[in-house]
């Protein structure tokens, strides 16, 4: 037990009580009553007309401590419940949104224009390559959750992409080979990728592009805009009077995304 403004409280509540306005208001009211007992006890001693009220004062102090501890614990439990519910909603929305997107890669990998280009690749500035880039742009405009689409040859050469990066013409990421042989409907990767100049992890869905006989011609990669998607989710849950911070962590407790701008900055650094 520790002391908070003259009242005994549980040690784990000491740092939290200053932030519990309602509990602090009840504390002030109870301590006002405590002062009344002190005055009555003092008057009784001075006038010699009443018995010693020391035991009553001690009992009231114990009752005050018990009431405040109970109220603080209930306030904390209610707040934890609210935060836990919000965290669960964030995860549920994210899982639902990602699940809905897992069908995109399989659908786009069967696009006939992509198949034709993968079977007969042409230089980046050719008419066919420009047309394919336009197809990628239209797809991203329709499904705004992606920021880049990349078509990679089985040996790793980048055949075409929506957002070219200077100096990057090949991809040696492991998910390329996984996508060529997987029996799953897609390969999901969240890690730094050689497709991008920065070292920030990228969420990429990939799958092979097959010809009519089932031979793998290339690997199609959809690059999911996770920071933007998370910000949309955070914005939908935030309230003007809510000071809580929502953060998405990985298995090593590193921040992936956060409603707090400073945490979000470090997550992208």
Average pLDDT over residues 25-45: 65
- The band of 266, judged by pLDDT with boundaries at 50, 70 and 90, is low
From the list 265, 258, 259, 257, the residue with the least C-alpha distance to 238 is 259
pLDDT of residue 171: 96
Q: Of 47 and 28, which is predicted with more confidence?
A: 28
pLDDT single digits (tens) 95-116: 998 988 888 999 999 999 999 9
pTM, entire model: 0.75
pLDDT single digits (tens) 41-72: 666 665 655 555 566 667 767 777 788 888 88
Q: Of 60 and 144, which is predicted with more confidence?
A: 144
Distance CA 72, CA 65 (A): 11
pLDDT of residue 36: 62
Distance CA 162, CA 113 (A): 15
Q: Find the range with the poorest average confidence among 179-188, 207-216, 245-254.
A: 245-254
pLDDT of residue 52: 57
- The band of 23, judged by pLDDT with boundaries at 50, 70 and 90, is confident
How much is the mean pLDDT over the chain?
85
Can you read off the two tokens belonging to residue 202? Answer: 């990228």
Portion of the chain with pLDDT greater than 90, in percent: 48
pLDDT of residue 254: 83
* 3-state class percentages of the chain: helix first, strand second, coil last, to nearest 5: 50, 20, 30
- The band of 264, judged by pLDDT with boundaries at 50, 70 and 90, is low
CB contact at 8 A, 51 and 43: no
Q: Across the chain, how many H-helices and E-strands are there?
A: 7, 9
From the list 30, 36, 31, the residue with the least C-alpha distance to 53 is 36
pLDDT single digits (tens) 73-95: 888 888 889 889 999 999 999 99
In terms of Cβ atoms closer than 10 Å to its own Cβ (0-12, 13-18, 19+), residue 136 is buried
3-state secondary structure of 196: coil
pLDDT single digits (tens) 151-181: 999 999 999 999 999 999 999 999 999 999 9
């Amino acid at each position: 037990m520790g002391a908070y403004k003259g009242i005994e409280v549980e040690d784990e509540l000491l740092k939290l009580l200053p932030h519990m306005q309602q509990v602090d208001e009840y504390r002030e009211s109870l301590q006002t009553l405590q002062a009344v007992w002190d005055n009555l006890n003092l008057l009784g001693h001075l006038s010699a007309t009443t018995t010693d009220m020391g035991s009553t004062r001690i009992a009231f102090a114990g009752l005050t401590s018990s009431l405040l501890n109970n109220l603080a614990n209930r306030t904390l439990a209610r707040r934890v419940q609210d935060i836990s519910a919000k965290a669960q909603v964030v995860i549920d929305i994210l899982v639902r949104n990602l699940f809905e997107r897992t069908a995109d890669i399989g659908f786009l990998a069967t696009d006939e224009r992509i198949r034709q280009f993968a079977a007969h690749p042409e230089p980046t500035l050719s008419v066919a390559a420009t047309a394919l880039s336009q197809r990628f742009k239209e797809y991203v405009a329709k499904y705004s959750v992606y920021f880049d689409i990349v078509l990679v040859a089985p040996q790793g050469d980048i055949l075409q992409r929506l957002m070219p990066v200077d100096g990057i013409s090949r991809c040696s990421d492991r998910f390329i080979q996984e996508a060529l042989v997987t029996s799953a409907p897609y390969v999901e990767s969240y890690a730094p990728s050689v497709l991008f100049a920065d070292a920030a992890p990228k969420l990429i869905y990939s799958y092979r592009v097959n010809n009519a006989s089932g031979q793998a011609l290339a690997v199609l990669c959809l690059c999911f805009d996770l920071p933007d998607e998370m910000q949309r989710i955070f914005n939908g849950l935030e309230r003007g009077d809510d000071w809580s911070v929502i953060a998405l962590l990985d298995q090593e407790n590193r921040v992936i995304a956060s409603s707090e701008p400073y945490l979000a900055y470090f997550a992208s650094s």
